[in-house]
Structure 1
Amino acid sequence: MTGASRHYVLAAGGTGGHLLPAFALATELERRGHHVALITDTRGAQIPGKPDFLPAHVIPAGRFGKNPLSWIKGIRAVLQGRRMALRLFDSFQPSAVVGFGGYPSLPTVLAAKSAGVPTVVHEQNAVLGRVNRLFARHVDAIATAYPEVERLDPKHSRKVHLVGNPVRAGVLSLRDEPFPPLGEEGLLRVLVTGGSQGARVLSEVVPDGLSMLPPALRQRLQVTQQCRPEDLDAVRERYRNHAIPAELATYFEDMSARLADAHLFIGRAGASTIAELTAVGRPAILIPLPIATDDHQAANARELAKAGGARVIRQERFNAKELAKQIKALADNPQGLGRAAHAAWNCGRPRAVEDLADLVESFGGADMMDVIRVGGNNARGASQGLPAGQGAVRESAE
Structure 2
Amino acid sequence: MNIIISAAKTGGHVFPAIEVAKEFASKECNIFFIGTGSKIEKNALEGLSFNYIPLKIDGFRGKSPLNKILSLKDTVFNIFKVYFIIKRNNIKCIITFGGFITVPVGLAGWLARTKVFTHEQNSVMGSANKLLSKFATINFLAFPITGNIKRSLISGNPIRTSFNINKAQEKDRDTNKIRIYITGGSQGAKYFNETFPKSFEDVEDLVQIKHQCGNGNFNEVQNLYSKTNIDFSVSEFYKDPSLEIEWADFVISRSGALTISEVSSLSKGMLMIPLPISIDNHQYLNAKHILDIKMGVIHEEADGIDKLNEKLKKIISQKTYLNWQKQTNSSHKNATKFILNNILKEYGAI
2:127 aligned residue (107, 118, 130): 130
TM-score (norm 1): 0.81
Q: Distance in 2 between matches of 1:45 and 1:313?
A: 29
The residue that corresponds to 1:349 in the other structure is 332
1:27 aligned residue (22, 27, 31): 22
> Offset of 1:46 from its aligned partner?
4.3
The residue that corresponds to 1:380 in the other structure is none
Q: Distance in 2 between matches of 1:167 and 1:274?
A: 10
Structure-2 change in CA distance of 1:346 and 1:73 (3 Å): closer
Q: Distance in 1 between matches of 2:52 and 2:15?
A: 14
- Would you say the 8 A contact 1:45–1:58 is kept in 2? no
Q: Distance in 1 between matches of 2:273 and 2:53?
A: 35
> Is 1:70 matched up with 2:56?
no
> Offset of 1:348 from its aligned partner?
4.5
The residue that corresponds to 2:57 in the other structure is 61
After TM superposition, list the pairs within 5 Å mapping 1:272-351 onto structure 2. Answer: 272-319=258-305, 321-334=306-319, 336-343=320-327, 345-346=328-329, 348-351=331-334
The residue that corresponds to 2:136 in the other structure is 139
Q: Distance in 2 between matches of 1:231 and 1:204?
A: 10
- Would you say the 8 A contact 1:191–1:224 is kept in 2? yes
Where 2:182 maps in the other structure, the secondary structure is strand
Structure 2 gap ranges (5+): none
Structure-2 change in CA distance of 1:172 and 1:196 (3 Å): closer
TM-score (norm 2): 0.92
> Offset of 1:63 from its aligned partner?
2.9
> Is 1:98 matched up with 2:82?
no
Q: Distance in 2 between matches of 1:96 and 1:46?
A: 21
After TM superposition, list the pairs within 5 Å mapping 1:1-398 onto structure 2. Answer: 6-43=1-38, 46-50=41-45, 52-64=48-60, 65-147=62-144, 149-150=145-146, 153-154=147-148, 156-157=149-150, 159-174=151-166, 186-195=176-185, 199-213=189-203, 218-319=204-305, 321-334=306-319, 336-343=320-327, 345-346=328-329, 348-365=331-348
Structure-2 change in CA distance of 1:24 and 1:185 (3 Å): closer
Q: CA RMSD in A?
A: 2.3
> Offset of 1:60 from its aligned partner?
2.5
Where 2:191 maps in the other structure, the secondary structure is helix
Where 2:348 maps in the other structure, the secondary structure is coil
Structure-2 change in CA distance of 1:351 and 1:168 (3 Å): same
Structure 1 gap ranges (5+): 1-5, 370-398
Q: Distance in 1 between matches of 2:322 and 2:299?
A: 21
Structure-2 change in CA distance of 1:322 and 1:212 (3 Å): farther
Q: Distance in 1 between matches of 2:13 and 2:97?
A: 6
- Would you say the 8 A contact 2:35–2:41 is kept in 1? no
> Offset of 1:249 from its aligned partner?
1.5
Q: Distance in 2 between matches of 1:201 and 1:72?
A: 35
One-letter amino acid of the structure 2 residue matched with residue 92 of structure 1? N
> Offset of 1:184 from its aligned partner?
11
Q: Distance in 1 between matches of 2:260 and 2:231?
A: 26
One-letter amino acid of the structure 2 residue matched with residue 351 of structure 1? N
- Would you say the 8 A contact 2:180–2:248 is kept in 1? yes
The residue that corresponds to 1:388 in the other structure is none
> Offset of 1:363 from its aligned partner?
3.2
Paired residue total: 346
Structure-2 change in CA distance of 1:75 and 1:55 (3 Å): same
Where 2:180 maps in the other structure, the secondary structure is strand
Percent identity, aligned pairs only, is 23
> Offset of 1:360 from its aligned partner?
2.2
